[in-house]
Chain A
Amino acid sequence: MVVRSVGKVGLVATPLTAYFFLWAPILLLVLFSFNDSRSVDTWQGFTLRWYTNIFSGVMGTEARFSTELMMQALSNTLLVGLVSTLIATVLGTMIALSLARSQIPGKRIVDGLMFLPVVIPEITQGVSLAIFFKIVFDFLDTSAGMRATPGFGTIIIGHVAFNISYVAIVVRARLANMNPRLEEAANDLGANTWQTFRRITLPLIMPGIVAGGLLALTLSMDDLVVTFFNAGVGTTTLPMFVYGLIKTAVTPEVNALSTLMLVFSTIVVGVSLMLQNRYADRPYTRQ
């Protein structure tokens, strides 16, 4: 009996502790971004000072953390995020479709390779991409005399490289749940391959594509490691900017900036969940 009640308490207490553990740091960060004090130890009243600081001048103490540079980093992040998401979503969807529908030789190998970027450590991916770019650039330099340096191009290629897998996996899951009879029925009713794809398959896998795309966008905007190794000099993204800021000092402005990024990703997650609920079309899926 004693063992049983201890077990029962443990089964509730452990999850609640885990929830507390997951949320407390984030909530504290948000709370202290409104604290009217430079240190984090005491609450000295509410202020929006750190937020206005971000947008009106220098955060921290150094010029390399100016608002102007932050805005530039933000626009770099958005640009890289949107371009790489677009490319990765199109390519990832194509891979998912071809893997699910065709009988190409070596399908299993491609299937396995698709999961590779998801399971290998990020740092390995960043490093191997960096080496790859270096080899390509050296080759271009010696063979064609073309000078190329890391920058936007390399970051975007790097992001596409890891995002394709995530998009492909999400879209494939959706395809696997789809009732194949719907496509057969369209064929029987005289639709050609393209019409079947355009009118039946694409609308049905759209939620998967959108979810995959949003996942890719979030991953791209959050990525530090792959960007870090492939950015070269002069191209900074927001995570790199924040990283530099954190390495220098713990300042309330970082709390405020973090809170803003937090709000943004919450909105993206919310939109993604909403879209998935709206498209929850159970009759068309294979149960």
Chain B
Amino acid sequence: MSRGSGGSAVLPFTFDQYTRVFDTFWIVLQRSILVALLTTAICLVAGYPLAYFITRRKTAFGRQFALFLVILPFWTNFLIRTYAWRVILGREGLINSALLNTGIITEPLNLLNTEFAVVLGLVYGFLPFMVLPIYASLSRFDHRYIEAANDLGANDVTSFWRIMLPLTMPGVIAGCILVFIPAIGTFVTSDLLGGTRGLMIGNLIQNQYSGNGNMPLGAALSVVMMMVVVVALLVYARFGEEKK
């Protein structure tokens, strides 16, 4: 629809908003997808060993405690966890003052309001989303398969790639989906840690709805974002459920 007074939606129907989404905001869309993919990849690389570590604790208490250490930050208010990074990364934040005091740098580094900060904040926020499904998959995994593979002459790397990873794939895919989707719609993290440099599609949508924004444009942006999400879910439906 067209943009009416005060940014609300009025007739007639038009595709103008979609043209704008793909022309003007293509770069933001692209960045959002890249940031979300990068976040997912980092979460996977860090989350899999962590989930493995939890399943390999000897006692039930050990496992529960190791799991609890992941769950508690996850239950903590997202806003507060994001804010904590502002304290650490800011110009007068912990990292900068530590580096300045030790004389490693003379000028404060620009850590906040970068894409780096956004990815960091997202990985921090969504790591538990990756760990928990993988943990669920791994705890059902029978480690005797690995022993069998070793007996048959496979080394650790081979048995991981050929046996453990394929069998825990549903957990991995579920984790990737659970990280990717909120990461692409991020709005708080990119707003607090990214500033204008980390502008993501979520912030654009929010801008279109608040004040004298442009609701039809916001709606078009939301639809495009949903399309990306649907594609991600189709990937999940294709690969994630199959082997259950």
Chain A interfacial positions (CB closer than 8 Å to B):
3-4, 7, 10-12, 14-15, 17-19, 21-23, 25-26, 28-29, 32, 39-42, 119-124, 127-128, 130-131, 134, 218, 222, 224-225, 228-229, 239, 242-243, 246-247, 250, 254-255, 258, 261-262, 265-266, 268-269, 273
Q: Which of B71, B178, B185 has the most CB of A within 10 A?
A: B185
Cβ-based interface call for B26 (8 A): no
Instruction: Report how far A150 CA is from B92 CA in the complex, Å.
Output: 39
**Would you give 22 A-B contacts (Cβ < 8 Å), ordered by A?**
A11-B52, A15-B53, A22-B127, A25-B124, A26-B81, A39-B92, A41-B98, A119-B229, A121-B181, A123-B185, A123-B205, A123-B222, A124-B229, A218-B75, A239-B77, A243-B188, A246-B86, A258-B84, A262-B76, A265-B76, A266-B75, A269-B72
Instruction: Compute how far the CA of A131 lies from the CA of B221 in the bound complex, rounded to whole angstroms.
Output: 14
Does B79 have its Cβ within 8 Å of any Cβ on chain A?
A: yes
> Digit string of B39-66 for contact with A (CB within 8 Å is 1, else 0)?
0000000110110111000000000000
Closest 10 CB pairs of A and B: A121-B185, A41-B97, A25-B84, A15-B53, A14-B49, A258-B80, A15-B50, A18-B50, A29-B84, A123-B185
Tell me the total A-B contact number using a CB cutoff of 8 A. 164
Most chain B beta carbons < 10 A, residue from A26, A121, A222: A121
Chain B, residue nearest A262 (CB): B76
Cβ-defined contact, A242 with B76, below 8 A: no
B76 surroundings in chain A (CB, below 8 A): 26, 262, 265-266
**Digit string of B106-129 for contact with A (CB within 8 Å is 1, else 0)?**
000000000000000000100110
Q: Are B83 and A246 neighbours in the complex by a CB distance under 8 Å?
A: yes
Task: Write the nearest CB–CB distance from B135 to chain A, whole angstroms.
Answer: 12
State the Cβ distance, A223 to closest chain B Cβ, in Å.
9
Main secondary structure of the interface of B (DSSP, over half): helix
Minimum distance in angstroms from A35 CB to a CB of chain B: 11
B69 within 8 A of A: yes
Q: How large is the interface on B (under 10, 10 to 19, 20 to 34, 35 or more residues)?
A: 35 or more
Most interface-central of B8, B52, B181 (chain A CB within 10 A): B181
Taking CB atoms, residues of chain A closer than 8 Å to B148 are none
With A121-B185, A130-B209, A222-B77 in contact, do A40 and B46 touch (Cβ < 8 Å)? no
Q: Is the CB of B78 within 8 A of A128?
A: no
**Residue ranges of B at the interface with A (Cβ–Cβ < 8 Å):** 8, 46-47, 49-50, 52-54, 68-73, 75-81, 83-88, 90, 92-94, 96-98, 101, 124, 127-128, 155-157, 177-178, 181-182, 184-185, 187-188, 191-192, 202, 205-206, 209, 215, 218-219, 222, 225-226, 229, 233
**Nearest Cβ in chain B — how far from A105, in angstroms?**
22
Q: Which residue of B lies closest to A134 (CB)?
A: B8
Q: Is the CB of A121 within 8 A of B70?
A: no
Cross-chain contact A25 with B70 (CB below 8 angstroms)? no
Q: Distance in Å from the Cβ of A230 to the closest Cβ of chain B?
A: 11
Q: Is the CB of B182 within 8 A of A122?
A: yes
Q: Closest B-chain residue to A11, C-beta based?
A: B49
List, in ascending order, chain B residues with CB within 8 A of A42's CB.
97
